[in-house]
Chain A
Amino acid sequence: MVVQKGTERVKRGMAEMQKGGVIMDVVNAEQAKIAEEAGATAVMALERVPSDIRKAGGVARMADPTIVEQVQNAVSIPVMAKARIGHIVEARVLEAMKVDYIDESEVLTPADDVFHIDKKAFTVPFVCGCRDLGEAARRIGEGAAMLRTKGEPGTGNIVEAVRHMRLVNSQVRKVIAMAPDEVMVFAKELGAPYEILLQIREAGRLPVVNFAAGGVATPADAALMMELGADGVFVGSGIFKSENPAKFARSIVEATTYYQDYDRIVELSKGLGTPMKGIDMSQLEPAERMQDRGI
């Protein structure tokens, strides 16, 4: 009997099971339980949520393994964790801890300003951020089994996630409509692997799921991203930096499932309390823009 672990199908399939769901950032076991109760399909175990990483400044690294273990022990849903871009050893440590998915994330300070991790060399699957189809296709080429928009993490401002989702999807539509002989030049323009673009053209869609991330703060934000074609939603600071995390978490989960049911979103949006305080993009210095890392 042939048995294979860590195949492309098993890695990508794990992300397919998350579709239509909400993946929530948590920093301890208690938050992880709140997330699971609320209907999160997975949690991302971190030392700090992105808005606190912004405040703290300095170098942001992989979380203390103790935090990841406590979260793993607290819930039965999948547990993800972040490694720095290009930090092969942080990723191997997380794999050794059997996290279910690694986010090679621009939210942490990059360890390598040129290369990403060769994700095909791992058994554990990876998710990576993207702002356009060039980044998306490069990450898929490196072995990412799931994508997410970068947005601008820790801002509570949806504008960048919207920009990235729209751009990726419009470029995907463009590839699908192209004549075969046009694909190579588009690959050159995007800096994208030609073969990946051919696969997208053939299949009529990205070969992996693409979630929204980076700025989701309300149920309506989550529904907006689904409307724009996201396969699901990551919420970072938006839940545990809000006034009522349990209620926000439940409402965002339901708004993601019922994203076109506006009467329901009315009810879900009532009396939620204050969402996280947001940041306008014009207030961010170029060095504070996480999305420009790891392109």
Chain B
Amino acid sequence: MSVKIGVLALQGAVSEHVRSLEASGAQTALVKNTRDLDGLDGLVLPGGESTMMRRIMDRYDLFEAVKDFSEQRPVFGTCAGLILMAKQIEGRRGPHLALLDIDVKRNAFGRQVDSFEADLEIKGISEAYTGVFIRAPYIKSAAENVDVLATYEGHIVACQQDRFLACAFHPELTDNPAMHRYFVRMVNEYN
């Protein structure tokens, strides 16, 4: 049976993640309320605005529910999702979910005019890969137990730590589901 992966659907590139997950052989569900987490094997935190997502999560008990879920299950965050998962965020008092032992910088490459596409080499993914970076963060530093999967100009832009996967770019905006396949495989192995 295929795994069922939820996408946090408060705001952001939700439908794109759903499409990429389904192209990778997973079933999907949208997560807007705490009860939507029931029966899921994994969770994606999409790109969007992390401040908005955090505010809504706080308002309706979703924050604690997602945190509890992450203690049992794999989580994949892209861009804003990566920020939600980091233990340290430059210029911000305190982290959000604090799942990854990384220190991130928001909008690290600049504003929208500096957003870009670049070819990346990603550990564990053999094919050519184009990363789409939109007002993207990068990872300033990562603890030793964090597996660095990709770098761009010397900055870490993708990593894995145990059951947590995160990247600064937007795999959901490309037709290449390689990163989603990687996560679906993680979820399968964890089950």
Contacts and interface: CB of A to CB of B under 8 A. Distances in A.
A21 interface: yes
A14 B135 contact: yes
A216 interface: no
A257 B134 CA distance: 22
Interface string B49-68: 10110011001000000000
Given A76-B107, A77-B51, A13 B170 contact: yes
Contact of A16 (B16, B55, B119): B16
Given A17-B134, A41-B11, A77 B16 contact: no
Given A13-B132, A13-B173, A14-B135, A1 B48 contact: no
B112 A100 contact: yes
A29 B39 CA distance: 44
Contact of A95 (B16, B56, B113): B113
Interface in B151-191: 170, 173-174
A7 interface: yes
Interface string A1-18: 111111101100110111
Looking at chain A's contact residues, the main secondary structure is loop
B181 to A, nearest CB: 20
Interface string A121-146: 00111000000000000000000000
B73 interface: no
A17 B112 contact: no
A270 B106 CA distance: 36
Contacts of A95: 113
A253 B55 CA distance: 10
Contacts of A77: 49, 51-52
Given A98-B110, A254-B56, A257-B11, A17 B49 contact: yes
B47 A101 contact: no
Contacts of A3: 116-118
B14 interface: yes
A7 B134 CA distance: 11
A19 interface: yes
A20 B53 CA distance: 11
B111 A39 contact: no
A102 to B, nearest CB: 10
Contacts of A16: 12-13, 16, 47, 173
A19 B173 contact: no
B119 to A, nearest CB: 5
Contacts of B15: 19
A258 interface: yes
A123 B51 CA distance: 26
Given A5-B115, A14-B112, A100-B111, A19 B13 contact: yes
A251 B147 CA distance: 41
Given A17-B79, A20-B10, A124 B48 contact: no
B62 to A, nearest CB: 11
Contact of B32 (A1, A37, A258): A258
A40 interface: yes
Of residues B132, B133, B135, which shows the largest number of chain A Cβ atoms within 10 Å of its Cβ?
B135
A40 B112 contact: no
A36 B15 CA distance: 24
Interface in A26-46: 36-42
B146 interface: no
Given A4-B117, A19-B12, A21-B49, 15 more contacts: A3-B116, A3-B118, A10-B132, A16-B47, A17-B13, A17-B48, A17-B134, A20-B14, A21-B12, A36-B51, A38-B55, A41-B11, A76-B106, A100-B112, A101-B112
Q: Which 6 A-B pairs have the closest CB atoms?
A: A100-B112, A20-B11, A39-B52, A39-B55, A98-B111, A41-B49
17 contacts: A2-B118, A9-B132, A9-B174, A10-B132, A10-B133, A10-B134, A13-B132, A13-B134, A16-B12, A19-B11, A19-B13, A21-B12, A39-B55, A39-B56, A77-B52, A100-B135, A257-B56
